[in-house]
């Protein structure tokens, strides 16, 4: 570590140690930033052992604050009070920026996802590599789609299941995640059971063959493209002929879905924001 880097590291760790607000639960963004910086710095070999000792001690103290916060949220969720507890983290404004933030760090700890131990099956043509929806957009989804406890929310390509779980916690809606990877489904189900989310379930099934007959809100974060997306949209069109539904999208599939004549967007569709579509007569 050169002199400039060492000086910067000392100044940064000094600032973290002096900032007592990092121990306050609501300083989530700043605390996660500090934890991530410390982890990255500690991962590299360092010659300054006294500074490493300080950094490890500081990281342990901040991680303990974070663990208490997450356990408190888990307790509230198990007791059925999760919606009220999570309202304080609801973003006031959601922009179209990419990437993940402090909310993703928080909810990943709360959901305590298992790292999949088994290998993932190769993707078929037109299938898209799994990428979780950023948590701030899930909060936005609940508002834009007006989800209530009368709905059955269906996540088409649910991955590790954080969208159905968070939607259920925030709204009380019944939620179903449909995911082809059994290893993802197993992990999601364990997380839901650990949080006593009785209104959330997951099935390991191809969306093209799954039972969609009870859903009222269908969510797609571009889990597939091309022919598969076309096949699923045709299935949703037939469902819309039986009852009122909403189709909610995020990502590149929004452009494709906005071109469907039988769907009308609630407002101007944007691939970087949640978009909500309602069926129309054609």
What is the per-residue pLDDT across 58-78, written as a single tens digit (0 to 9) for each? 999 999 999 999 999 999 999
Residue 48 is predicted with a pLDDT of: 86
Residue 2 is predicted with a pLDDT of: 66
Q: pLDDT category, 113, cuts 50, 70, 90?
A: confident
CA distance readout (Å), 88 to 46, 207, 220: 39, 34, 26
CA distance readout (Å), 220 to 40, 76, 131, 202, 236: 34, 29, 12, 15, 12
What proportion of the chain, given as a percentage, has pLDDT over 70? 98
**Does residue 130 register a pLDDT over 80?**
yes
What is the per-residue pLDDT across 187-230, written as a single tens digit (0 to 9) for each? 999 999 999 999 999 999 999 999 999 999 999 999 999 999 99
Q: Is the dihedral of CA 159, 278, 209, 127 positive or negative?
A: negative
**Does residue 181 register a pLDDT over 90?**
yes
Token pair listed for 147: 């989800």
According to DSSP, the residues that pair with 219 across neighbouring strands are: 155, 248
Q: pLDDT category, 1, cuts 50, 70, 90?
A: low
Report the alpha-carbon distance of residue 181 to residue 2 in Å, rounded: 47
Instruction: Give mean pLDDT, residues 140-164.
Output: 96
3-state helix, strand, coil in the chain (%, to 5): 50, 10, 40
């Amino acid at each position: 570590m050169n002199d400039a880097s060492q000086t910067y590291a000392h100044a940064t760790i000094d600032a973290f140690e002096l900032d007592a607000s990092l121990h306050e639960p609501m300083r989530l963004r700043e605390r996660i930033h500090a934890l991530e910086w410390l982890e990255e710095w500690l991962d590299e070999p360092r010659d300054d052992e006294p500074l490493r000792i300080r950094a490890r001690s500081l990281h342990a103290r901040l991680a303990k604050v974070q663990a208490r916060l997450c356990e408190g949220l888990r307790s509230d969720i198990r007791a059925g009070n999760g919606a009220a507890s999570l309202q304080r983290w609801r973003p006031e404004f959601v922009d179209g920026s990419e990437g993940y933030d402090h909310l993703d760090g928080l909810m990943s700890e709360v959901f305590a996802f298992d790292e999949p131990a088994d290998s993932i099956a190769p993707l078929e043509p037109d299938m898209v590599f799994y990428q979780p929806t950023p948590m701030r957009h899930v909060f936005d989804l609940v508002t834009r789609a007006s989800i209530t406890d009368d709905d059955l929310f269906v996540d088409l390509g649910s991955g590790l299941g954080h969208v159905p779980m968070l939607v259920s916690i925030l709204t009380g809606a019944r939620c179903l995640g449909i995911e082809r990877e059994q290893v993802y489904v197993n992990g999601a189900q364990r997380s839901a059971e650990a949080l006593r989310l009785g209104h959330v379930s997951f099935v390991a099934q191809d969306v093209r063959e799954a039972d969609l007959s009870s859903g009222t809100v269908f969510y797609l974060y571009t889990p597939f493209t091309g022919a598969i997306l076309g096949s699923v949209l045709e299935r949703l069109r037939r469902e819309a002929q039986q009852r009122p539904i909403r189709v909610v999208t995020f990502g590149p599939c929004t452009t494709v879905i906005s071109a469907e004549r039988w769907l009308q967007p609630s407002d101007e569709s944007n691939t970087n924001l949640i978009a909500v579509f309602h069926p129309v007569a054609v």
